[in-house]
Amino acid sequence: MNLLFLCDKPNPPGYIPRVRYLCKYLADRGNQITLITEKSDCKQLFSPKVNIITFDYIKAKTPLGYKIEWLSKTVLNLIYDHKGRIFFKHISKKIKKLSFDAVFCSSTFHSFPLTTAYMIAQQWQLPLYVDLRDIVEQTPRNSNNIFIHRLPGAMGSWLTKRFKYINIKRRNEAVRMAKAVFTVSKWHTDFLKSYNPNTYTVYNGFDENMFASQKIVSDTFDISYFGELTDNNLRYPIILFNALKNIVDGNKADLNNIKVRWFTDVNSAKNIKKTAKEFGIEDIMTYEKFVLEYDLVKKMNESSILLIFSHNPDIVGYNGVMTTKFFEYIGAGRPILITPNNQDELSATAKNIKCGLVSSDIDEIESFILQKYNEWQIDHYVKNTMEAEQRECFSRKKAAYKVIEILNSR
């Protein structure tokens, strides 16, 4: 199959691993992949078998110029899908002499580049396949935390509501036309089946060529978190912080041996530091920048416990969140602590494979940490509790082969 693949801009630190592994395994199976996206320094991370074409959209070189251009083009996008149409024109010029068998588009809650893929499929009468990594409905109706740039006050609320409405409408038009739709959780699949019955769950998974369980002894008992944490409602750390406070206040472990490591961005670190200080546990916290690729695997394997925060259980409307980090943790094979327990798909999956603890109970979390700490004291290592066959179910190769099987069958 000669496949035209579209995706949104691959940004650091992850550079859209789902897109990268789909392209890799599709190419490895003999498919010809032409990937078109917004300009990014991502080419070295993709398989050399993938032909990558990029276009500039925002061209300003100065910070002020960037903000002005971004704001003006955002308004144009709300009015008439400026970005989608501009990319359609660019791509039409590039591919007019090429022949493709299908269009495959991977996107988030933004309608770009889904509208572009939809226009190309219509123009060249090609089958369209859609991969949705996020959808607007997975967050509360009045939430704006899906946006990097947010306007405050009534104007910001109105724009958020309008943005969601427009993007949902454009998305649904493309989804209804698609030959098949892929998405990242069972909740997303069930939701989207009302628009297209040919919707399939394909978990993000872990790259078995990168993530592997290694026995690395460590001088300290490390509890590690990898990712953003700027919003304590989307990722709710309060229950863990209460458990850590009990350990610190009760001197239940040698605090010189315990580190809670945060591999995160500057804004997240500010939020964590502020919250940790409120609990009086700031002395056991350390902060490091995001790490990539094999450094990431090493840092994970150095850890005794890996952290995932679910959303605040008091806020209704977060649905179907199966974070990529969960699957990467599975690949690393370290014990995982998930809190709170929101009785959702993430909780059920973690419990089923016995990869650690899922809990909203402060005492239970405290006991889990101290149990693993006591195990670490013996040989400075905490063993994995998951069976190999359970781990392999979540490999990205298996996920990609499921996509390939569906592409070949339709």
Q: What confidence tens digit (pLDDT) does each residue in 278-291 have?
A: 999 999 999 999 88
Confidence of residue 386 (pLDDT cuts 50, 70, 90): confident
Greatest CA separation found in the chain?
72
Cβ atoms of 308 and 325 within 8 Å: the answer is: yes
Supply the DSSP symbol for 97: T
Mean pLDDT of 75-103: 90
Cβ atoms of 275 and 391 within 8 Å: the answer is: no
Residue 157 has pLDDT above 90, yes or no: no
Amino acid at 289: K
CA distances from residue 309 to 50, 61, 123, 213, 359 in whole angstroms, order as listed = 35, 37, 44, 22, 10
Tell me the whole-structure pTM to 2 decimals.
0.90
What pLDDT score does 171 carry? 96
What pLDDT score does 177 carry? 96
Query: Based on the number of CB atoms within 10 Å of its own CB, is 376 exposed (0-12), middle (13-18) or buried (19 or more)?
Result: buried
87-101, 164-178, 361-375, range with the lowest pLDDT: 87-101
What pLDDT score does 213 carry? 86
3-state SS, residue 261:
strand
3-state SS, residue 22:
helix
Fold of the 2-205+396-409 domain: Rossmann fold (3.40.50)
3-state SS, residue 121:
helix
Confidence of residue 147 (pLDDT cuts 50, 70, 90): low
Confidence of residue 225 (pLDDT cuts 50, 70, 90): very high
Mean pLDDT of 57-79: 89
Mean pLDDT of 19-39: 94
Confidence of residue 143 (pLDDT cuts 50, 70, 90): confident
Q: How far apart are the first and last CA of the chain?
A: 12
Q: How far apart are CA 143 and CA 228, in angstroms?
A: 17
**Where in the chain are all domains bearing CATH 3.40.50.2000?**
2-205+396-409, 221-392
What pLDDT score does 274 carry? 96
What pLDDT score does 150 carry? 59
What pLDDT score does 212 carry? 87
CA angle 223, 227, 231 (to 5 degrees): 105
How much of the chain, in percent, has pLDDT values that exceed 90? 75
Q: What is the CATH number of domain 221-392?
A: 3.40.50.2000
Average pLDDT, the chain: 92
Confidence of residue 151 (pLDDT cuts 50, 70, 90): low
Please state at what angle helix 63-80 crosses helix 82-95, rounded to 10 degrees: 90
- Which among 49-63, 161-175, 180-194 has the top mean pLDDT? 180-194
Mean pLDDT of 138-162: 72
15-29, 134-148, 304-318, range with the lowest pLDDT: 134-148
CA distances from residue 260 to 327, 369, 382 in whole angstroms, order as listed = 21, 11, 15
Residue 23 has pLDDT above 80, yes or no: yes
Listed residue (225, 243, 206, 240) closest to 303, CA to CA? 225
Confidence of residue 149 (pLDDT cuts 50, 70, 90): low
Q: How far apart are CA 75 and CA 81, in angstroms?
A: 9
What pLDDT score does 145 carry? 62
Sequence-ordered alpha helix ranges (H) in 33-136? 63-80, 82-95, 114-124
| Structure tokens, 259 | 């580190």
Query: Based on the number of CB atoms within 10 Å of its own CB, is 153 exposed (0-12), middle (13-18) or buried (19 or more)?
Result: exposed
88-97, 179-188, 246-255, 273-282, range with the lowest pLDDT: 88-97
Cβ atoms of 137 and 185 within 8 Å: the answer is: no
What pLDDT score does 347 carry? 96
Residue 61 has pLDDT above 80, yes or no: yes
* 347 alpha carbon, distance to own chain's centre: 17
Q: Measured on CA atoms in the order 112, 118, 120, 123, is the torsion positive or negative?
A: negative
Give me the count of residues in the chain.
410
What pLDDT score does 342 carry? 95
